[in-house]
A and B are shown apart, each in its own frame.
Chain A
Amino acid sequence: MLEFFASNYALNLLILICIYVILSVSLNLIIGYSGMLNLGHAAFFGIGAYASALLALAGYPYWICFIAAVFFAGLGGAMIAYPSLKLRGDYLAIATLGFGEIARAVMKNWVSLTRGPLGLPGIPKISFFGLTLTTKFQFFIFALIIAILVVLFVSKIVKSPFGRVLRAIREDEIAAQAIGKNIKKYKVIVVITGAACAGIAGSLFAHHITFIDPTTFTLMETILIVCMVVLGGVASIRGSVIGATILVLLPEPLRFLGLPTSMAAALRVMIYAALLILLMIYKPNGIFGEWRFRHAKSKEAL
């Protein structure tokens, strides 16, 4: 069995799990703990990936690429900070969805910078202080450490007094303002932090797959991350980690069901979608969920 874990196939999945854990935990910080329904997470994932890849291809050492990924993704977060303050619930979801699509259109059409649909091949391996991550196993260890750090960072935020205020804002913005909390400042910080973490995941993704193009950072990618958060349980860090793990692994066993070749791919998507629907009907709060995302401030959920 151990030989299986060393195989690149398993390591590839483990690395993807680390990347998607970072994405789902950071999105949960925005959706679960601060009540801001953000459907633009893949855009920050993409900005981080492109920033890191472009600088790496230009020969910069990895730690500069990493910081650039975090910085530019955070900058992206700052851009949607304004709508995040002004809009609530569905409207915020729609606005961030729009932002995500515009970001992807820029990635696809700003050919001089991103080579557009041709993408960026040959992204160099990660190396810092003379150590180069050549094998997939080394990369996995690096990704695991980063993932654990991000999860600790986010759970620290959530358990700290800062996090307590976040949950208060999620519960009732009016009451939070009345007791002297500057909700604008808190929301902006959360949106930028969440986006910056997505940038980290972007950097890891770029150097792992070594080729990125706009087709990866679509609305469906954000939806996948939202599903991980909802499946795992809104406002539960453990939930997001488990949600990410399940949804990365879910399609894999379907490959081995020996479906008739002509229908295999389509059937796989159908089974995946059916499982998603059933999970939502029978476990709408997600596995660890304890907070249900209600409509703006109407007392009962509609």
Chain B
Amino acid sequence: MLKVKKLYKHFGGVKAVDGCSFEVEKGAIVALIGPNGAGKTTVFNLITGFIEPDKGKVLLYNKDITGMAPYRISKEGVSRTFQIIRLFPKMTVLENMMLSMQNVYENFWLSMLPLKQKKLHEAKMVNDALELLKFVDLEGKKNALAGNLSYGQQKLLEMAKALASEPELLLLDEPASGVNPTMLKKITNLLKELKKKGKTILFVEHNMDFVMKIADKVVVMDGGEEIAEGPPKKIQKNKRVLDAYLGKVIKIKRRKKK
């Protein structure tokens, strides 16, 4: 479904992404892990078009979406969350949800006309939104301002928002980071549910046992390139992965005692 081929992105001297390639099959949940500074979030931004790659290709169903404008990639069915939560703080939870839904009536002229279908569509969107909010049990908060929710609730809202546009591919940037255990369980169950629904998910995460529990496949990045790819069990024992995380084992030659 999603093919990343030999992506390069250098910021001045820094080789953020250095020839990274991997694949995400349809319906699979793939984790993208690696030490800090491995270029995980940069890959995310390259895929979603916020940053232009120097070289390399991003293909969605073999359609080249490299360097397309973020809003057009989103329209292709790719939606994402951010490492630092990005909601519309001064707008209600419901509005946040409805904004993510496909709405032809957002066109300047159509939105002005008092069309019946528009009202129907608006009502339908509200229902779909409430359904999703129930799914992440934020239904009670629908009229609250997004900015007033707790951190965990905002995480859930951001995920629900990403789901609202019925995406083909869901990109989650550290969904489990900074959340208390009960919230973590909620998020884990949520992802399991999505897996059952056959959603394709690519997520970046540091929390290893969360990754091991959820991911079908794990892609490990270090120094801007992917060093290993495979099922979680295999990856745990992979030597290169351990070196990357735990650092290289260096033999220290002892000088012979005089």
Contact = CB atoms under 8 A, between A and B. Distances in A.
Interface of A: 156-157, 160-165, 167-168, 171-172, 174-183, 189, 291
A161 B106 contact: yes
Nearest to A181: B71
Contacts of A165: 99, 106
A180 B112 contact: no
Interface stretch (B83-91, B126-134, B183-191): B83-91
Contacts of A168: 88, 91, 99
Interface in B180-200: none
A171 B75 contact: no
B216 interface: no
Q: Binding site of A, secondary structure by majority: helix, strand, loop or mixed?
A: helix
22 contacts: A157-B112, A160-B111, A160-B112, A161-B111, A161-B118, A162-B107, A162-B108, A164-B98, A164-B106, A168-B88, A168-B99, A174-B82, A174-B86, A176-B99, A177-B69, A178-B50, A178-B70, A178-B80, A179-B79, A181-B71, A181-B99, A291-B90
Contacts of A160: 105, 111-112
Q: Which of A165, A175, A181, A182 has the most CB of B within 10 A?
A: A175
B109 to A, nearest CB: 9
Contact of A167 (B75, B91, B111): B91
Contacts of B75: 180
Contact of A177 (B70, B88, B91, B102): B70
A233 to B, nearest CB: 14
B108 A179 contact: no
B58 to A, nearest CB: 16
A171 B89 contact: yes
Contacts of A171: 88-91
B16 to A, nearest CB: 18
Given A164-B98, A164-B99, A172-B86, A178 B79 contact: yes
A276 B228 CA distance: 65
A177 B98 contact: no
Nearest to A299: B84
The size class of the interface chain B forms with chain A is 20 to 34
Contacts of A179: 74, 79, 99-100, 161, 165
B86 A177 contact: no
Contacts of A175: 82, 86-88
B103 interface: yes
Contacts of B48: 178
Given A175-B88, A180-B79, 16 more contacts: A160-B105, A162-B106, A167-B91, A168-B88, A171-B90, A172-B86, A176-B99, A177-B74, A178-B48, A178-B79, A178-B80, A178-B86, A180-B71, A180-B165, A181-B106, A291-B90
A229 B99 CA distance: 27
Contacts of A163: 111
B95 interface: yes
Contacts of A180: 71-72, 74-75, 79, 100, 102, 165
Contacts of A291: 90
B170 to A, nearest CB: 12
Contacts of B118: 161
Contacts of A176: 99
B82 A178 contact: yes
Contacts of A164: 91, 95, 98-99, 106
Contacts of B165: 179-180
Pairs of residues from A and B, 5 with the lowest C-beta to C-beta distance, nearest first? A180-B74, A160-B111, A162-B111, A175-B86, A177-B70
Contacts of B98: 164
Interface in B194-231: none
Nearest to A291: B90
Interface in B227-249: none
Nearest to A174: B86
Contacts of B112: 156-157, 160, 162
A165 B89 CA distance: 14
